[in-house]
Structure 1
Amino acid sequence: MLDALMMDRVDFVKLLIEYGVNLHRFLTISRLEELYNTKQGPTNMLLHHLVQDVKQHTLLSGYKITLIDIGLVIEYLIGGAYRSSYTRKTFRALYNNLYRKHKVEKSAALHKSRKKSKEEQNISDDPDSTGFIYPYNDLLVWAVLMKRQKMAMFFWQHGEEATVKAVIACILYRAMAREAKESNMVDDASEELKNYSKQFGQLALDVLEKAFKQNERMAMKLLTYELKNWSNSTCLKLAVSGGLRPFVSHTCTQMLLTDMWMGRLKMRKNSWLKIIISILFPPAILTLEFKSKAEMSHVPQSQDFTWYNGDQNTSTLKENSCQVNESQHFDLKSGLQTLPWTRKVYEFYNAPIVKFWFYTMVYLAFLMLFTYTVLVEMQPQPSVQEWLVIIYIFTNAIEKVREVCVSEPGKFTQKVKVWISEYWNLMETVAIGLFLVGFGFRWGAPPFYTAGRLIYCINIIFWFSRLLDFFAVNQHAGPYVTMIAKMVTNMFYIVIIMAIVLLSFGVARKAILSPKEPPSWTLARDIVFEPYWMIYGEVYASEIDGIQPSCPPGSFLTPFLQAVYLFVQYIIMVNLLIAFFNNVYIDLKSISNNLWKYNRYRYIMTYHEKPWLPPPFILLSHIGLLLRRLCQHQAPNDQEEGDVGLKLYLSKEDLKKLHDFEEQCVEKYFHEKMEDLNCSCEEQIRVTSERDIHLTEEFQRIARRDKKAFLSNQCKEIEENNRMGKTRDLFKKIRDTKGKFHAKMDTIKDRNGMDLTEAEDIKKQWQEYTEELYKKDFHDPDNHEGVITHLEPDILEHEVKWALGSITTNKASGGDGIPVELFQILVDLNPHVPSWTAAHQASLSFTMSR
């Protein structure tokens, strides 16, 4: 098995597995490391570059890649908060113990004996405790990182978790393609990896489509159940982090996101109006409809969700949170039973859509107060409105700190890195920091006091820009926000070119018009000030040909330079920028719907994780969360690493049912693919051609059998006539059996060896052949090209002798009317027949060669 994996022999691996090789016992840490370090079969040099990047130093020759290195590479490729199982503390401890044990046993073995069998060595470094729970998953990752696509496809088809395995393979291949492009490797390598990524992405989408058609609820569970072997994450979360837009835009995913967005609220039309009324008038909450427990069985929940019900133990939550099937019948029968009013209030304020509108309404009120604060005269002491703005921003800053602390990564630096990678989080951090600086300055003396007010005026721009994030939730306005961000990020190179043109003209113009300018920082402003406004149409016409008593030398060049500058900048560069924006708009407009669907996950997760009270009331929620944490008495180390977020915590029995359902969907998917392949036009043509060949061979076999039987019967009758002396019947039967002589021609070819089928071409070839017969020597050895004819065997010499000897008086062997005397003469000439026959055969041989 190990040799077959190293040499990339998929057929042998498949055969060994079919004959009972247990991968759970076969795959160990040492063997998996040996697979990563093998030199046999296809190798991937990109993997060594990636190991160098994560190790941050050059690898020595002969360096052995460890599984910990592979874990770091996987985390680097997937990114975000993903944590590989190879880098966790439990695996590191197991790996270090195994390494020390192997080292000790190896040194002891060297002291005892220099010779030791291979089987004995495997005992020490291959204990059962080093096996992998999901060997197909680990071998799939190995095949992907080693760029062995056929082997990766094989391991994807086997084992469990087919959907998430396809997603992981797609993410890894896509990241490797990006790294190959950035490393200036061959372009074919990057394109090849992109094609592999698309194949696995399509597989994930097809399996999800098949599962959704089979059972919608089970398909949604496939997206959000906890994946123990994949950083305790979910398939949906991995797909979003990997950028699988078609997968996230699928109907199954969108239905799940809609259920997550609405929470337990059951609304269809005018949901925003009902929610706003309920927020402003809380008693209206009791009139709303809510979903039953059975209808929410597929919706993922966080661990804190069950605190309201009194579940304080995480293990109890994971074992009991998915015992929904037992209570589904009760929920369906008691569908008309209403929830308690306290539960309604709790479910209402914890729905992400309610949080969104609640936060939006409070944020608009904050912007109104902030606008009022910067527009009116600032007093030495903050007004009530300014204090409300200060409290809002301070409480919002506390919430941002809480978000960083409760984020998924383990290390604080990684938490900050992942959190700050979100654009809106970065912008809000800058806005809060700038406001704090302005707040500090406003308490100072008049110079600092004025600076503080100016900072307030600049700071409010960031808070107004933050409104765009609220618009992104809307299906119609959201794509436009994305388009603006795409245009701003992609216009960098064009703006650089425009800046070069502007500086070249600005420096020349300033130098010509002001030759005696003293050194000053205002020169930098004067260089770009007027040329910049010329882009928007302000050409300063009064200064082009002004009447001045003393014009500086060379000032006549300024109008000419300005004309060239305006032509290049205003006509060429501005129109190029507009054309570029138009292309971005067209490209994004075609995928705007899928793009908005893909971004929905971020909005939903953002508001699902927020406390239900917005700033400044959010302090009450923080106090409640702190009290809940104290009441749970859970140590920080008790919580599993990465065990946060929205997930379905399934029991072992439910998880097995889900895996069986997924395997059935994969089997049906491949069965349908085979049927589609058989039904395709090309396949039908191929099958028809094979059937035609088979029928032709069968007809030829039957014809040969019948001909053999016919000739056998004719020979028996000829022998019977010869024995009985019936000469006339004998020769008649021979003539009928042999038939007339036909010079059979199989094919006629031209000088290039091509078959001729048209009558005109055949006639022309015969004409050329005849002309060459007269032009060339009859015995020319080179005159053997052209028509090839296959003739039937002529009458043999002994047949002629036998026919002449069988002639009786006044009778010839045939009814052709030839006198018998002629055959008597031939009898006399019998001694000369061999020489004639040889000459005749030589002539026929020459004709056949022609």
Structure 2
Amino acid sequence: QYARVSYDSRPDLLLQLMVKEWQMELPRLLISVHGGLQNFELHPKLKQVFSKGLIKAALTTGAWIFTGGVNTGVVNHVGNALKEHASRSSHKICTIGIAPWGVIENRGDLVGQDSHVVSPYQTLSNPLSKLNLLNSLHSHFILVDDGTVGKYGAEAQLRRELEKHIATVACRAGMGQGVPVVGLVAEGGPNVIVTVLEYLLEEPPVPVVVCEGTGRAADILAFLHKNTDDTGELCDGLHDEIVGTIKKTFNFSHGQAMHLLQTLLECMRRKELITVFHTGSEDHSDVDLAILTALLKGTNFSSADQLNLALAWDRVDIAKNHVFVYGQHWMVRLEWARWRRPMLDALVMDRVDFVKLLIENGVSMHKFLTITRLEELYNTSDHHQMSNLRILLHRFSHLPPDYKITLIDVGLVIEFLMGGAFRSMYTRKRFRLLYHNLYGQHRASVDNTRQRKQKMSTASGVGVTLDGSDPECSCFAYPFNELLAWAVLMKRQRMAMFFWQHGEESLAKALVACKLYRSLAGEAKQSREDELKWKRLWCARVKFGQLALDLLDQSFRQDERMAMKLLTYELRNWSNFTCLKLAVSSRHRPFVAHTCTQMLLADMWMGRLNMRKNSWFKVILSILMPPSILMLEYKSKAEMSHIPQSEELHQMGQEEREHRAAATRDIPMQRCLSRRVFLRLLSFAIRILLLRTVGNGSAADGGESGHKEEEGIWIRPSGLSLSRRIYEFYHAPIVKFWFNTLAYIGFLMLFTYVVLVKLQQLPSVQEWFVILYLFMSAIERVREIFMSEPGKFGQKIKVWLDGYWNINDSLGILLFFVAVALRSQSHLLIEAKIVYSLDVIFWYVRLLDVFAVNQNVGPYIMMIGKMMWQQCMLMIIMAIVLLSFGVARQAILFKEADPSWYLARNIVFQPYWMIFGEVYAPEIDNNTDDEYPPCTTGAFITPFLQAVYLFVQYIIMVNLLIAFFNNIYLEAKNISDKLWKFHRYHFTMYYHQKPILPPPLILLSYLSLFASQL
């Protein structure tokens, strides 16, 4: 794109043309390249460094490059750099050539009738012509016309005025200063030296970078820069040498050389604004570094403005080496209001390295992150990231386009993505109260917030602290947790990884990020977004999941018990979830299948019972013969230190210790000893009885305790009292499981009896037991719903219905009481019997959940469930094939059928059984005789249709279904161990929270619970 303008055009109109008509974004930096008009050669290494550095400076800073535009001299080298960049990248650099109209070859091709001209421009030069071609690798041209032909200089004044005007326009760095301008000199003649002096005398001055080794003016400037003192005075003995060099280089007379030397010395009086670049320099290894360093060194920007420049350029190396030169003392020199803006900009622009640099140099996230600033982060992020968050918010309510997202809205999104019973801190009542106190119904200003500070109480319970010296009042106790959630929701993976590395609760943060990314990936897949975006989110989920697994493994290697405690520690900032619960929520199977997690689940499953082999036999025997409880071994208090205890158990232990202390003081020693001897003899006798029952082989599994038994000595390792032993036995999840299983088998046997025998007018004893069992089971399901973690009743129902067996139980109980209602009517006993018969199916299927506890059988049950779920699509295809044949067959064979519901049955009846091999051969082609009725018209078509149907359905679809199931089996078989270990958590926690007694005796547990609350 180009524009032909007059030499006296207004610079503001030219900038308006560039920004509005050419759609160019305002630059963060303006690099003005000056040099010779004649072609010159560069050393290959210097040429490579010059090209690479210039392009890097433009790319990293979003700069514009001003050149002379014509394809000679230094512009030719700039064009070569642009050409090399264009071959490697599609990113276009804004390079504007400002050239005089009168020196352009083939300029007639650029003349058009309208304001918008598309002209083919001939780039082949005429060797006999003194005019020059435009460099075609520039993105834009401004062609300055002053009416002359073949003369340079018309563009110089307009170029300087345009540069000055751009320098006064506020750039996108957000620092309130104009666009910084820097001059870049390569080679050049005397006019370049004059231009450098003009740059240095500007107000504010323009820093200049001189490329040493490019020749002529650049080398003379570099030599003088090295050989003058700080005041610009030339070193002794060099005056004549410099004059001679000038005369030889530019073919000047002595007087001209002296005049140019004075110009050079005038430049050296401001030598701090000149930066000399040469290859091999330790200070400036690249041209881009020299350019940016010159800007920081040659301008009067404050430290905060320099940091904003480095931030806008995305050059953390510049900030580290030239802004933070005082280390953490930089924070002392900078006011609070000045350093929080760079941090906010670094977060918004996703500059992870800058955030890290600011934190390393003393920026406190605890002071920085307030409710106001966190909301600003959610509302000033990238437009595409904001739209994703708004899409999630639309699930809750319709939002206007200009709606400003609040933290309460963010809390709703986090709860939706986390799922289950998770409650975000932002949606809790205490935080809402704090939020409305701070902002009111209309998001009050900071001044109004100061007036409300006196009304607020402490907010430490919601992870927010109040500080009267902070004008924004509130800071977060765990800022890196909040910023991690922000980074994940904004889909900034590098930033999320950085915040995971800082702050507390690293394991919990990794699991939360894993869950959030999993949910975001699922949402992206359902909304059919870009597949690359979905894969990127899923990869982030895998990465954080692996971090959590590695962290758990490292902790487990260092201290096993502390690692187990880490899994069960309640996280106040994450809805009182534990790390184990977060891992299950994110479906992190390798984490749950880890040795540490499985050891914890095994210990929780056994409770305080210390048994390894034949545990099922010992537990069942102890349930059926309660005195056997005395011979069981129990873990010590140290062995149970990593398992979370209920408040009731903790209080019971405290009372027991007090009782023992009192008993030791009050009871005579002989009485204590006699009771101990009696208990030991009783337990020893029961042990002998049990060992004879189990056999010698099982007795050998006792380990160390077995050797003690052979010696005739039994020592109670845990020192538990009789009441505590009974309590610990019946509260162990394994005991609850077998107790409930035995009761369930008894219920199922009685229900089977009720279904099989004739129903009497009045319920029998067996039927009353079944009714009582299911009635108490229904009450237990209601208790589970009300005792679940979600706060809202609707959410409790939703979470409870997520379990398949809960749905199965609900349908079974509902159907059963429908049957009970029917059997209360004497004339509906048959109907009640039928409903009973259908209902018993649900309770026999429920037995599969009992077998899921077994490590060998459990994976197969999970495979069956997966097969049933994933076969739906194939079943739909098979149903379409079946209906297509069934309807055609029914219509041909029975042309005069009357309307009836039997028609629907007949359509699918025989075709369905044909799938399993029943082809009804006698009916395929029956001849007309005395035994069969006459054939209907067109009946001969049905055998052909049946042959096609059986080929498609029986051979193709059935075999496809078998192959599909086989594939599912192989996939599940490979992960069957991890799958079972993952589901082990669910039934361990289920029986851990379940009352001791099974239905119908569970009523006693309810009465005990009610009495304890009183």
TM score, norm. by length of structure 2: 0.57
- TM-aligned CA distance change 1:43 to 1:405, over 3 Å: closer
- Residue 229 of structure 1 aligns to a residue whose secondary structure is helix
Q: Which residue of 2 aligns with 1:220?
A: 564
Q: 2:746 aligns with which of 365, 369, 372?
A: 365
Q: 2: CA distance between counterparts of 1:429 and 1:104?
A: 49
Q: Which residue of 2 aligns with 1:56?
A: 397
Q: 1:145 aligns with which of 483, 489, 501?
A: 489
- Residue 62 of structure 1 aligns to a residue whose secondary structure is coil
Q: 1: CA distance between counterparts of 2:443 and 2:949?
A: 74
Q: Which residue of 2 aligns with 1:331?
A: none
Q: 2: CA distance between counterparts of 1:127 and 1:628?
A: 49
Q: Work out whether 1:250 is the aligned partner of 2:594.
A: yes
Q: 1: CA distance between counterparts of 2:937 and 2:918?
A: 25
- Residue 639 of structure 2 aligns to a residue whose secondary structure is helix
Q: 2: CA distance between counterparts of 1:507 and 1:60?
A: 52
| CA offset digits 1:613-643 (Å, max 9, x no partner) | 001100000111111122xxxxxxxxxxxxx
- TM-aligned CA distance change 1:232 to 1:129, over 3 Å: farther
- TM-aligned CA distance change 1:149 to 1:485, over 3 Å: same
Q: 2:891 aligns with which of 511, 519, 526?
A: 511
One-letter amino acid of the structure 2 residue matched with residue 457 of structure 1: S
Q: Which residue of 1 aligns with 2:1003?
A: 619
Q: 2: CA distance between counterparts of 1:465 and 1:591?
A: 24
- TM-aligned CA distance change 1:195 to 1:104, over 3 Å: closer
| CA offset digits 1:763-809 (Å, max 9, x no partner) | xxxxxxxxxxxxxxxxxxxxxxxxxxxxxxxxxxxxxxxxxxxxxxx
- Residue 952 of structure 2 aligns to a residue whose secondary structure is helix
Q: Which structure 2 residue ranges, 5 or more long, are not aligned?
A: 1-342, 450-465, 657-714
Q: CA deviation at 1:514?
A: 0.5
Q: CA deviation at 1:124?
A: 10
Q: Which residue of 2 aligns with 1:572?
A: 956
Q: Which residue of 1 aligns with 2:736?
A: 355
Q: Which residue of 2 aligns with 1:10?
A: 352
Q: 1:411 aligns with which of 792, 797, 821?
A: 792
Q: 2: CA distance between counterparts of 1:249 and 1:470?
A: 21
| CA offset digits 1:729-772 (Å, max 9, x no partner) | xxxxxxxxxxxxxxxxxxxxxxxxxxxxxxxxxxxxxxxxxxxx
| CA offset digits 1:148-174 (Å, max 9, x no partner) | 111111111111100010000011011
Q: Which residue of 2 aligns with 1:46?
A: 388
- TM-aligned CA distance change 1:627 to 1:566, over 3 Å: same
Q: CA deviation at 1:549?
A: 4.0
- Residue 385 of structure 2 aligns to a residue whose secondary structure is coil
| CA offset digits 1:540-595 (Å, max 9, x no partner) | 11111223442211001011111111111100111110000000000000000000
Q: 2: CA distance between counterparts of 1:513 and 1:454?
A: 35
Does the CA contact (< 8 Å) of 2:467 and 2:474 recur in 1?
A: no
Q: 1: CA distance between counterparts of 2:786 and 2:444?
A: 42
* Structure with higher strand content: 2
Q: Which residue of 2 aligns with 1:832?
A: none
- TM-aligned CA distance change 1:104 to 1:404, over 3 Å: closer
Q: CA deviation at 1:56?
A: 3.0
Q: Which residue of 2 aligns with 1:652?
A: none
Q: Work out whether 1:69 is the aligned partner of 2:419.
A: no
Q: Which residue of 2 aligns with 1:467?
A: 847
Q: 2: CA distance between counterparts of 1:66 and 1:412?
A: 25
- TM-aligned CA distance change 1:529 to 1:307, over 3 Å: farther
- Residue 131 of structure 1 aligns to a residue whose secondary structure is strand
- TM-aligned CA distance change 1:286 to 1:26, over 3 Å: same
Q: 2: CA distance between counterparts of 1:506 and 1:102?
A: 66
Q: 1:420 aligns with which of 801, 814, 817?
A: 801
Q: 1: CA distance between counterparts of 2:591 and 2:721?
A: 38
One-letter amino acid of the structure 2 residue matched with residue 436 of structure 1: F
Q: 2:990 aligns with which of 606, 622, 625?
A: 606
Q: CA deviation at 1:62?
A: 2.2
- Residue 999 of structure 2 aligns to a residue whose secondary structure is coil
Q: 1:170 aligns with which of 509, 514, 520?
A: 514
Q: Which residue of 2 aligns with 1:700?
A: none
Q: Work out whether 1:158 is the aligned partner of 2:538.
A: no
- Residue 430 of structure 2 aligns to a residue whose secondary structure is helix
One-letter amino acid of the structure 1 residue matched with residue 583 of structure 2: A
Q: Which residue of 1 aligns with 2:82?
A: none
Q: 2:756 aligns with which of 362, 375, 394?
A: 375
Q: CA deviation at 1:143?
A: 0.7
Q: Work out whether 1:181 is the aligned partner of 2:525.
A: yes
Q: 2:906 aligns with which of 507, 510, 526?
A: 526
Q: 1: CA distance between counterparts of 2:430 and 2:924?
A: 77
Does the CA contact (< 8 Å) of 2:633 and 2:717 recur in 1?
A: no
| CA offset digits 1:38-78 (Å, max 9, x no partner) | 1459835322211212x232x32222111111100010001
- TM-aligned CA distance change 1:625 to 1:307, over 3 Å: farther
Count of aligned residue pairs for this structure pair: 594
Q: Work out whether 1:235 is the aligned partner of 2:579.
A: yes
Q: CA deviation at 1:605?
A: 0.7
Q: 2: CA distance between counterparts of 1:403 and 1:123?
A: 42
Q: Work out whether 1:34 is the aligned partner of 2:376.
A: yes
Does the CA contact (< 8 Å) of 1:370 and 1:460 recur in 2?
A: yes
Q: 2: CA distance between counterparts of 1:304 and 1:108?
A: 47
Q: Which residue of 1 aligns with 2:173?
A: none
Q: Which residue of 1 aligns with 2:668?
A: none
Q: 1: CA distance between counterparts of 2:435 and 2:386?
A: 25
Q: Which structure 1 residue ranges, 5 or more long, are not aligned?
A: 110-121, 313-333, 631-850
* Structure with higher helix content: 1
Q: Work out whether 1:86 is the aligned partner of 2:466.
A: no
- Residue 394 of structure 2 aligns to a residue whose secondary structure is helix
Q: 1:542 aligns with which of 922, 936, 954?
A: 922
Q: 1: CA distance between counterparts of 2:911 and 2:613?
A: 54
Q: 2: CA distance between counterparts of 1:604 and 1:311?
A: 28
Q: 2: CA distance between counterparts of 1:214 and 1:399?
A: 42
Does the CA contact (< 8 Å) of 2:636 and 2:717 recur in 1?
A: no
Q: CA deviation at 1:335?
A: 8.0
Moved more, 24-33 or 42-51: 42-51
Q: 2: CA distance between counterparts of 1:358 and 1:419?
A: 23
TM score, norm. by length of structure 1: 0.68
Does the CA contact (< 8 Å) of 1:28 and 1:126 recur in 2?
A: no
Q: Percent identity?
A: 61
- TM-aligned CA distance change 1:337 to 1:616, over 3 Å: closer
Q: CA deviation at 1:301?
A: 2.3
Q: Which residue of 2 aligns with 1:799?
A: none
One-letter amino acid of the structure 2 residue matched with residue 437 of structure 1: V
| CA offset digits 1:258-317 (Å, max 9, x no partner) | 0100000000111111111111100010001101111111101233433534789xxxxx
Provide the aligned C-alpha RMSD in A: 2.0
Q: Which residue of 1 aligns with 2:364?
A: 22
Q: 2: CA distance between counterparts of 1:373 and 1:6?
A: 70
Does the CA contact (< 8 Å) of 1:42 and 1:148 recur in 2?
A: no
Q: Which residue of 2 aligns with 1:478?
A: 858
Q: Work out whether 1:346 is the aligned partner of 2:727.
A: yes
Q: Which residue of 1 aligns with 2:818?
A: 437
Q: Work out whether 1:490 is the aligned partner of 2:870.
A: yes
Q: Which residue of 1 aligns with 2:45?
A: none
Does the CA contact (< 8 Å) of 1:174 and 1:194 recur in 2?
A: yes
Give the alignment of 1:608-687 within 5 angstroms. 608-630=992-1014
One-letter amino acid of the structure 2 residue matched with residue 430 of structure 1: L
Q: 2: CA distance between counterparts of 1:345 and 1:393?
A: 27
- TM-aligned CA distance change 1:521 to 1:104, over 3 Å: closer
- TM-aligned CA distance change 1:178 to 1:512, over 3 Å: same
Does the CA contact (< 8 Å) of 2:635 and 2:717 recur in 1?
A: no
- Residue 8 of structure 1 aligns to a residue whose secondary structure is coil
Does the CA contact (< 8 Å) of 2:759 and 2:829 recur in 1?
A: no
Does the CA contact (< 8 Å) of 1:75 and 1:83 recur in 2?
A: yes
One-letter amino acid of the structure 2 residue matched with residue 56 of structure 1: S
